[in-house]
Chain A
Amino acid sequence: MSESFLRLEGITKTFPGVKALDDVSLDVRPGEILTLLGENGAGKSTLMSVLSGLYAPDSGRILLDGKPVQLASPADALSKGIGMVHQHFMLVPNHSVLDNILLAIDNLTFKLDRAALKTRVAAIVSDLGLDLNLDTPVWKLSIGQQQWIEIIKLLVRDTRLLILDEPTAVLTPQEANKLFDFLKKLRAKGSSIIFISHKMREVMELSNRVTVLKKGRSVATVTAGDYDTSKLARLMIGEDEVPTWSKVSHAQPNVLVSVHGIEANNERGTRELDDFYLDIYAGEVLGVAGVAGNGQKALGEVLAGLRKPINGNIRLRSVDVTKDWGNGKHFSIIGHVPEDRKAQGIAPDLTVDENLVLKSYKAPEFCNFIFQKNKAIRDNAKVQVERYDIKAGPSGAKVRVLSGGNIQKVIIARELGIKPELLIALYPTRGLDIGAAGFVHSVIAKAGETGMGTLLISEDLDELLKVSDRIAVMFRGKLVGIVDPTKTTREQIGLMMAGEAPV
């Protein structure tokens, strides 16, 4: 391996009440994929924000080609060849793909030669083998496609180092594979990549080296071949035990909620659910498998009462509740972990305490006539933060400043905290570290004891197979079939996800 061209030395960064980075060092070599691994809140995103010029470190230095540099802003970092794709994207939704990419080129002349630039961008797009129309407005694209635009924005700038913060959290497994092929090609050409992920399979597949962060400190850097999954887990979590549990089915014979011939459209008016039938039994975990974009989001929203079906009905214990399902009457019995957690699941500028009662603020527990019971709200937060091990910073902190995984934990803690009868969980463990994901699985499975029915929508077959009592497979807005996870294979589910009916 060649010498490193970039070094971070002794980086420290403190936020009010939190030491996010404590004397962290790191080096990057040309033509390698370096993975950052660490629990939620370990400081991965913060470190990368320092490296991409978003935050100035309190102390420590950055050496590029052996010389210390100051990165004053992301644009400055980019001009030195360092570019980052953040956990949430920075695109202008109403602009076309091309315009968004052109925005990234900062030395555009006033009279820009659109045609030439378009050819150049189109060349990159076809090089990547993407199916992307440059004139489409960005809001029409899937999250996966938007991520590609972010990447292309960096590629037009000739970046030496590409930083990707949990890129696969928003991708389907297919899209993720495509991204990996691309990253490997990029590496072969001599570029370097820093990659963040909580998914061990991805870490094992891609990394040349892995740097492990723990509580803001860099604890180890290991080279491919010297580690396996369990060693990485041990480095990350320490000697603490990863909680283990074994699946016990709590499914009851009575149907809790049944979806009957539902049809629903998305905001663009295209059909998302088409004559859809599904029964959810009390106490069961019903997994829903399917390639993203085949109607899962619509199913979640219809069941959560956030979208009105055009046709069909919803029954709660065989009573037709379609009419008032959407007008909020049933909100208190439905827990809903939404797909887009930042945009939908939290009020970012309210405190963690306040966000933890977003669903139950009107319950007698937290509200006396019209007055909020502030002490009860604070105490509730204390309990949840402790139970879910949420790294919430000093009390009174806004939820916005939490790390991605910790925000997800806030949402899950809140939704399970209302003791729902029905839990609709879309990709609930996205962005959670392995310990937290395991804990969430065990909590969901246990809540079945009390009769809670769960609809677990996920792309992660391992997750589905591990937690579900039954797995329903969706394709193009329809139910393809339902299988028993103990009697099926991944291959069979895979075929059904492609629309083939079970034999």
Chain B
Amino acid sequence: MKLLIQKRQSQSALFNLMTPLLCLVLALIVVALFLVMAGVNPFAAYRDVGIEALGSAYGLSETLVQATPLIFTGLGVMLAFRMQLWNIGAEGQLYMGALGATWVALFSGITSTWLMIPMMMIMAMILGGIWAAIAGALKARYRVNEVIITLLLNYIAAGIVKYLVYGGWRDPKGYGFPQTADFPPNAILSTYFDTRLHSGFWISLVLAAILWVFTEKTVWGYELRVIGNNPRAAQYAGMNIQSKTIFVMFLSGALAALAGFAQVSGVVTRLQDNISPGYGFTAVIVAWLARRSAAGVVIVSFFFGIVYVGGDALKITYKLPESFINVFQGMLLFFLLASEYFVNHRITLVREPKTPVAV
């Protein structure tokens, strides 16, 4: 008997769908073990998570509130992935977006109600876009690895926001809390039925639909696929890879920045330094699980919304540390990476035919 390991020649659609689901189940099992170790009944805990996140209209709305920034950042990361660009900086771009939106809301002097929200969005996209395009430009021009640059820019963006909310932008009437003043009403997205669900959610869905059309149906999506698959062939076909690299990174950052806009305008209604519990990092997992599809990003984001809301519930009911969410995400990523191997290889057990040992 021996193991036969072969490269898989093709993967069926069903198989591609099943792998992430299987990873999910495995991650749930491992986290269940941790829960047992922490003295918690995993079945009860998972049931509570389900009830908390999905069991009531309010719970569901909270799940969607958490899913919204994940959709924006997930779409951004996914878009860059399509071109084999690894944007690990969605978190920083989110913060830059929040900063841009805040500037428009508080300091631009715009008062017009119908101009306010669009201008906040545009400013957020410009700042976040530039933030990511820096990495794109360095990659295109000097072949600097975009992973490192986007990662480092995260810390700089967070630092800038901190600097502003502790310094020049701090609300003088805010009892010294590190946060800006409250946004004027016309800079706040409308919410529904006494929940925190805000219209940013619809915006994220519309964007996902637009992005789906763009990546699947247009010439532009085709170019992304060719460049992502074989840059040399793209060049050979006359596509300008350098300018596309910069442009795609810009768009990627602009999308992620809208998460920042949605957070400050829809949820927090002001800028402070902890508007994201790491949505931009989770977005990398989201994009990966979504297998680079815009529709997938929406579905996976919803799922992670449950994880966030449910995680909060675990924290409160079972006094579990916040890091349980991180453990879960880590496990999920681990299984996903490991599963790549099984997606690409076929492993079978074969019986070696009996052969007398030749000497």
Contact = CB atoms under 8 A, between A and B. Distances in A.
Interface of A: 15-16, 54-56, 65, 67-70, 72-73, 304-306, 328, 331-332, 336, 338, 343-350, 354, 358-359, 361-362, 367, 370-372, 401
B353 A68 contact: yes
Nearest to A401: B9
Closest 5 CB pairs of A and B: A331-B238, A328-B238, A347-B229, A68-B353, A370-B218
A401 B10 CA distance: 9
Contacts of A372: 217-219, 222
A328 B240 contact: yes
Contacts of A73: 4-6
B291 interface: no
Interface residues of B, number: 33
Contacts of A305: 238
Interface in B176-222: 217-220, 222
Contact of A371 (B217, B350, B358): B217
B219 A371 contact: yes
A70 B350 contact: yes
B237 A346 contact: no
A401 B6 CA distance: 16
B344 interface: no
Contact of B6 (A54, A67, A344, A359): A54
A332 B239 CA distance: 12
A415 to B, nearest CB: 11
Contacts of B4: 56, 70, 72-73
A346 to B, nearest CB: 6
B226 A358 contact: yes
B6 A347 contact: no
19 contacts: A16-B10, A54-B6, A55-B9, A56-B4, A70-B2, A70-B352, A73-B6, A328-B240, A331-B238, A344-B236, A346-B233, A347-B226, A349-B229, A354-B225, A358-B233, A361-B223, A370-B218, A370-B219, A401-B9
B141 interface: no
Main secondary structure of the interface of B (DSSP, over half): mixed
Interface in B222-244: 222-223, 225-226, 229-230, 232-238, 240
Nearest to A341: B233
Nearest to A414: B237
Contacts, number: 89
Nearest to A76: B2
Given A16-B10, A371-B217, A359 B353 contact: no
A347 B225 contact: yes
Given A65-B358, A336-B236, A70 B220 contact: no
Nearest to A362: B219
A69 B230 CA distance: 38
Contacts of A54: 6-7
A101 B230 CA distance: 28
Nearest to A349: B229
Given A306-B236, A328-B240, A362-B219, A72 B5 contact: yes
B230 A346 contact: yes
A6 to B, nearest CB: 15
A348 B350 contact: no
B217 A359 contact: no
B359 interface: no
B347 to A, nearest CB: 11
A70 to B, nearest CB: 5
B355 interface: yes
A9 to B, nearest CB: 13
Given A370-B219, A372-B218, A358 B237 contact: yes
A67 B355 contact: yes
B235 A306 contact: yes
B230 A348 contact: yes
A358 B348 CA distance: 38
